């Protein structure tokens, strides 16, 4: 008798440890009993890794004391509710709102550290280009793992996608052609950057491996235009600055393969340049 498939919402709950023990054991057995379930098992592992990565980056922010002005606003909001008999519930709601605000601020800043590996192998403190790389890596981890809605606009509407993203970023964009390298465009989306919108294009190969190209148009004319490599957990990133543009190609593939694809992306986006900057 064929075992019925597990709904995706149950897999999410299993990855988050939110199921009763009996149901969790049932799903664990389902994932292990058949090689055909390997993709679902890998998806669960990716979700768990993503959750750990997000907690590692943002939990320290949630543990910080609220700034005095924000704490005062939280308490003032709780004291001006229409139901004064439930101050604890009101305060809890305001604290949750404050926590979400801080989380958004942390996401916008992009965190403080990322493993940046240059040719000399040294780790460096985050600077503007490295913040770009980290934001790209986090965006890749979040959206490339989504099986149902990884993009806002699909590749079947490529021209409309490029036109929309170009208008929102206030500049002319292009989606590089990676089909000769085995990766087809599946679509893209608009994301929040540090001070404005950024674009993400997503590609996928025949095996389902995904790459994302993160494009920012909010870079100051930065002199650090080197073609650099960074790692964020399982995500490898090649990134570079070109004038006011910042680019980051992210994926869970080997560094050498990602470098080959990043070089093609660079050449397509900078047709007058024969090789990546050094």
| Ordered strands of the 184-192 beta sheet | 115-117, 228-232, 235-242, 245-251, 210-216, 197-204, 184-192, 153-154
Q: How many Å apart are CA 229 and CA 129, to the nearest integer?
A: 11
| DSSP track, 130-184 | HHHHHHHHHHHHHHHT-SS-S-SEEGGGHHHHHHHHHHHHTS-------GGGT-E
Specify the pTM: 0.57
pLDDT tens for 94-118 read 544 554 444 344 344 443 334 444 4
pLDDT tens for 166-176 read 999 999 999 99
Strand ranges inside the chain, DSSP E: 115-117, 153-154, 184-192, 197-204, 210-216, 228-232, 235-242, 245-251
Length of the chain as a residue count: 278
Lowest mean pLDDT segment, chosen from 60-64, 152-156, 265-269:
60-64
pLDDT tens for 159-213 read 999 999 999 999 999 999 999 999 999 999 999 887 788 999 999 999 999 999 9
Strand partners, 248: 214, 239
Taking the CA atoms of residue 102, residue 100, residue 231 and residue 134 in that order, the dihedral angle to the nearest 10 degrees is: -60
Instruction: Tell me which residue has tokens 């926590």.
Output: 99
Q: Label the pairing between strands 228-232 and 115-117.
A: antiparallel
pLDDT at 114: 42
pLDDT tens for 217-257 read 876 555 555 688 988 888 999 999 888 889 999 999 999 99
């Amino acid at each position: 008798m064929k075992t019925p498939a597990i709904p995706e919402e149950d897999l999410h709950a299993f990855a988050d440890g939110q199921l009763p023990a009996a149901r969790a054991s049932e799903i664990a057995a389902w994932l292990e009993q058949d090689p055909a379930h390997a993709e679902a098992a890998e998806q669960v592992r990716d979700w768990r890794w993503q959750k750990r990565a997000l907690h590692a980056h943002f939990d320290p922010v949630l543990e910080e004391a609220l700034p005095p002005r924000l704490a005062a606003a939280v308490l003032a909001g709780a004291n001006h509710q229409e139901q004064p008999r439930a101050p604890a519930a009101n305060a809890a709601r305001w604290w949750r709102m404050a926590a979400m605000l801080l989380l958004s601020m942390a996401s916008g800043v992009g965190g403080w550290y990322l493993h940046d590996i240059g040719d000399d192998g040294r780790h460096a403190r985050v600077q503007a280009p490295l913040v770009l790389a980290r934001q790209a890596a986090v965006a890749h981890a979040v959206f490339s793992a989504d099986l149902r809605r990884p993009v806002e606009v699909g590749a079947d509407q490529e021209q409309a996608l490029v036109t929309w993203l170009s208008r929102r970023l206030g500049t002319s964009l292009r989606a590089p052609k990676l089909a000769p390298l085995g990766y087809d465009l599946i679509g893209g989306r608009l994301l929040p950057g540090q001070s404005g919108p950024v674009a993400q294009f997503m590609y996928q190969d025949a095996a389902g491996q995904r790459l994302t190209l993160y494009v920012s148009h909010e870079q100051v004319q930065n002199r650090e235009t080197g073609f650099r490599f960074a790692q964020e957990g399982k995500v490898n990133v090649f990134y570079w600055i070109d004038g006011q543009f910042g680019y980051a190609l992210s994926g869970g593939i080997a560094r050498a393969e990602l470098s080959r694809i990043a070089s093609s992306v660079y050449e397509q986006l900078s047709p007058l340049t024969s090789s990546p900057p050094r």
